[in-house]
Amino acid sequence: MEMDVHDELLAAVLFIVFTMFTLWVFRKLWAVRKRKTINDTSSKSGHYWSPIEQNEQQHNYCSGCKQHVVSGYECDNCLLKVDNINCLRAISTKIHCKVNQTLCRKETFDHHWICGNIGADLFCEVCEELCGGGVGLQDFRCSWCWRVVHTKCKPKFTLSCDFGRLQRTIIPPYCVTTRKPGNRNQRMMLIKSPFQAVIDKIEIPTDIEKWRPIMVIVNPKSGSGAGKQLLRNFRAHLHPAQVVDVLKSNISASLRWIDEHPEVDVRILIAGGDGTICSALDQIDTLSRRIPVAVLPLGTGNDLSRWLKWGKKCGGDIDVIKLMEDIQEAEVTLVDRWTIDAESQKKLGVRLQSNKTLSMTNYVSVGVDACVTLGMQNTRESIPRAMSSRLLNKFLFFTFGTKDVFERVCKGLNERIDLYLDDVHINLPDIEGLIFLNIPYWGAGVKPWATYNASHRQECDDETIEVFAVTSSFHIAQMQIGLASPLCIGQAKHAKLVFKGNHSFPMQSDGEAWVNSAGTVLISHKCKTAMLRKAEKQSTGCGMFF
Site for Zn ion in 20-49 (CB under 5 A): 47
Answer yes or no whether residue 88 interacts with Zn ion by CB under 5 A: no
Stretch that binds Zn ion, among 23-31, 110-118, 174-182, 535-543 (CB under 5 A): 110-118
Answer yes or no whether residue 77 interacts with Zn ion by CB under 5 A: yes
Answer yes or no whether residue 178 interacts with Zn ion by CB under 5 A: no
* Secondary element (H or E) of residue 381: helix 368-382
- State which residue, 72 or 311, has the beta carbon closest to Zn ion: 72
Contact with Zn ion (CB under 5 A) among 114, 137, 142, 374: 142
148: β partners = 141
Contact with Zn ion (CB under 5 A) among 38, 137, 153, 231: 153
Stretch that binds Zn ion, among 57-65, 341-349, 490-498, 537-545 (CB under 5 A): 57-65
Contact with Zn ion (CB under 5 A) among 38, 78, 236, 410: 78
Q: How many residues does the chain have?
A: 546
Contact with Zn ion (CB under 5 A) among 38, 137, 145, 396: 145
Do 267 and 294 touch, CB atoms closer than 8 A?
yes
- Other beta carbons less than 10 A from residue 138's beta carbon: 18
Closest CA relative to residue 448, chosen from 466, 426, 430: 466
Answer yes or no whether residue 150 interacts with Zn ion by CB under 5 A: yes
- State which residue, 116 or 375, has the beta carbon closest to Zn ion: 116
Answer yes or no whether residue 507 interacts with Zn ion by CB under 5 A: no
Taking the complex as a whole, how short is the minimal distance between the CB of residue 251 and Zn ion, in angstroms?
Answer: 24
How far CA 186 is from CA of 45, 177, 181, 182, in Å, comes to 19, 12, 9, 9
Residues near Zn ion (CB under 5 A), total: 20
Q: In 345-378, at which residue ranges do the beta strands (DSSP E only) sit?
A: 346-347, 350-351, 356-360, 363-367
- State which residue, 64 or 443, has the beta carbon closest to Zn ion: 64
How far is Cα 239 from Cα 469, in angstroms, rounded to an integer? 47
- Other beta carbons less than 10 A from residue 283's beta carbon: 17
Contact with Zn ion (CB under 5 A) among 91, 118, 137, 161: 161
Answer yes or no whether residue 130 interacts with Zn ion by CB under 5 A: no
- Other beta carbons less than 10 A from residue 188's beta carbon: 14
- State which residue, 131 or 523, has the beta carbon closest to Zn ion: 131
Answer yes or no whether residue 87 interacts with Zn ion by CB under 5 A: yes
Closest CA relative to residue 100, chosen from 47, 179, 37: 47
* Cα angle: 330, vertex 331, 336; to 5 degrees: 120
Taking the complex as a whole, how short is the minimal distance between the CB of residue 194 and Zn ion, in angstroms?
Answer: 8
Taking the complex as a whole, how short is the minimal distance between the CB of residue 76 and Zn ion, in angstroms?
Answer: 7
Contact with Zn ion (CB under 5 A) among 126, 342, 437, 523: 126
How far is Cα 185 from Cα 194, in angstroms, rounded to an integer? 18
Taking the complex as a whole, how short is the minimal distance between the CB of residue 29 and Zn ion, in angstroms?
Answer: 26
Do 237 and 213 touch, CB atoms closer than 8 A?
no
Taking the complex as a whole, how short is the minimal distance between the CB of residue 81 and Zn ion, in angstroms?
Answer: 9
Closest CA relative to residue 88, chosen from 35, 127, 164: 35
Closest CA relative to residue 313, chosen from 460, 511, 220, 445: 445
Contacts of 318 (CB under 8 A, 6+ apart): 230, 233, 296, 541, 542, 543
Stretch that binds Zn ion, among 84-92, 204-212, 280-288, 320-328 (CB under 5 A): 84-92
How far is Cα 133 from Cα 122, in angstroms, rounded to an integer? 9
How far is Cα 471 from Cα 456, in angstroms, rounded to an integer? 22
Compose the 292-331 pattern: x for residues touching Zn ion by CB under 5 A, - for all others.
Answer: ----------------------------------------
Do 360 and 338 touch, CB atoms closer than 8 A?
yes
Answer yes or no whether residue 476 interacts with Zn ion by CB under 5 A: no
Answer yes or no whether residue 199 interacts with Zn ion by CB under 5 A: no
- State which residue, 258 or 320, has the beta carbon closest to Zn ion: 320
Contact with Zn ion (CB under 5 A) among 97, 314, 324, 372: 97
Taking the complex as a whole, how short is the minimal distance between the CB of residue 123 and Zn ion, in angstroms?
Answer: 8
Q: Report the interface residues with Zn ion, using CB under 5 A.
A: 47, 62, 64-65, 75, 77-78, 83, 87, 97, 111, 124, 126-127, 142, 144-145, 150, 153, 161
